Structure 1
Amino acid sequence: MNTGKILVAQSQGIYIIKFVGDVRLNLCGTLDQYTDEMFESEKFKTVIIDLTETQCIDSTSLGQLAKISILYKEKYGQLPTIISTQDDINRILLSMGFDQVFYIVHELVSQVEYLDELPLKSVDEDEMKKRVLEAHKLLMNMNDNNREAFQDLVNSLEDK
């Protein structure tokens, strides 16, 4: 499995975030910081999440995507877009209720060629725990199935 990375591009206020390979919680600090910068930018108009080269995505990363959807909906009253062409990733998205918080496009219309890799940001253990907890709480608030699936993990993290 390919080590995960996050590629980004921005043009005229359109931000593209592309997950490549095995995307896991070690990238959550990087994505969280980029998300904050993106939504604070005066240029920001929309965001497209590209999962066409994602091989695996963990629940913390999914929680980060849920955060993007929540912030976007608060700002514009609309849903952002995910492009996902992989059947296994699509099953994960649908099982977690992402079709309720994103427009999911199942075919790639065009290819963006000029993406830069986000440099990995290191976070300490307390910050990582905070971000994992936040991501899973966001997932739990999406639907009852997610609430049931992640309640024990959230309780465990809150007890520590």
Structure 2
Amino acid sequence: MSTGKIQFAEQDGTFALKFVGEVRLTLCSALDATIEKIFGAGNFSSIIIDLTEASNIDSTTLGLLAKLSILSRQKIGLLPTLVTTNPDITRLLESMGFERVFNMVGTPVPCPECLRDLPAQDLSEALVKTKVLEAHRILMGLNEHNREAFRDLVSALERH
């Protein structure tokens, strides 16, 4: 299994995230902390998520991306831009209903040399479970398909 990474940059209130390789649960705590940082910034004006080099994105990561979109609409009234050129990733995003909560485009992020890797974070098992549960609840809220797809997982997490 190839490892993934998430890179981050900010300039004049525009925030950029770039997902590379297989982006999975292990990167979600750093992603969630970065989402909090973005929306805590006083100069936030837009966000771009570049998925052109992502080979796989798990459901927890997708839930955090949905959270990012919801917060963007609440804070500044704009949908984030999501860049995807991989047909498999695009199909996955569309199956989750992301075309309704993101501006989806096929042009990569300018200034890739400006991006830096997000730092790894160690979280307790309980905190990881909380993050996974939150991400999947957000995904379930996007559409009926997601509600059906993740109902059993969310129920299982809530029981334990």
Query: Which TM-score tier does this pair reach, normalised by the shorter chain?
Result: over 0.9
d(CA) in 2 for partners of 1:77, 1:62: 21
Counterpart secondary structure, 2:50: strand
Shift in alpha-carbon separation, 1:115–1:109, aligned structure 2, 3 A: closer
Instruction: Compute the displacement of 1:113 (Å).
Output: 1.8
Task: Report the equivalent of 1:139.
Answer: 139
- TM-score between both structures, scaled by the size of structure 2: 0.97
Tell me how far apart the structure 2 counterparts of residues 84 and 111 of structure 1 sit (CA, whole Å).
17
Q: Percent sequence identity over matched residues?
A: 50
Ranges in structure 2 where 5+ consecutive residues have no aligned partner: none
Q: Give the secondary-structure state (helix, strand or coil) at the position aligned to 1:32.
A: helix
> Structure 1: how far apart are the matches of 2:152 and 2:109?
40
How far did residue 35 of structure 1 move? 0.6
Report the residue type matching 2:157 in the other structure. Answer: L
Q: 1:110 to 1:41 in 2, by over 3 A?
A: closer
Which deviations, in whole Å up to 9, do the C-alpha atoms of 1:20-79 show, x marking residues without a partner? 100001111100111101100112211100001000000000000000000000012221
Q: Note the C-alpha offset of 1:99.
A: 0.2
Cα offset for 1:110? 3.8
Match in the other structure for 2:24:
24
2:65 — aligned with what?
A: 65
Q: Which residue of 2 aligns with 1:124?
A: 124
Equivalenced residues, count? 160
For residues 136 and 20 of structure 1, the distance between their equivalents in structure 2, rounded to whole angstroms, comes to 22
Alpha-carbon distance between aligned partners in 2 of 1:35 and 1:117, rounded to the nearest angstrom? 14
Quote the residue 1:14 is aligned against: 14
**Comparing 100-109 and 23-32, the one that deviates more:** 100-109
Dislocated runs of 4+, deviation >3 Å:
none
Distance in 2, Cα, partners of 1:148 & 1:131: 20
Residue in 2 aligned with 1:159? Answer: 159
Alignment check: 8 A CA contact 2:48 2:109 kept: no
SS of residue paired to 2:112: coil
Task: Give how far 1:132 is off.
Answer: 0.2
Q: Which runs of 5+ in 1 are unaligned?
A: none
Q: How far apart are residue 109 of structure 1 and its match?
A: 6.8
Q: Residues 7, 133 of structure 1: CA spacing in aligned structure 2 closer, same or farther, 3 A cutoff? A: same
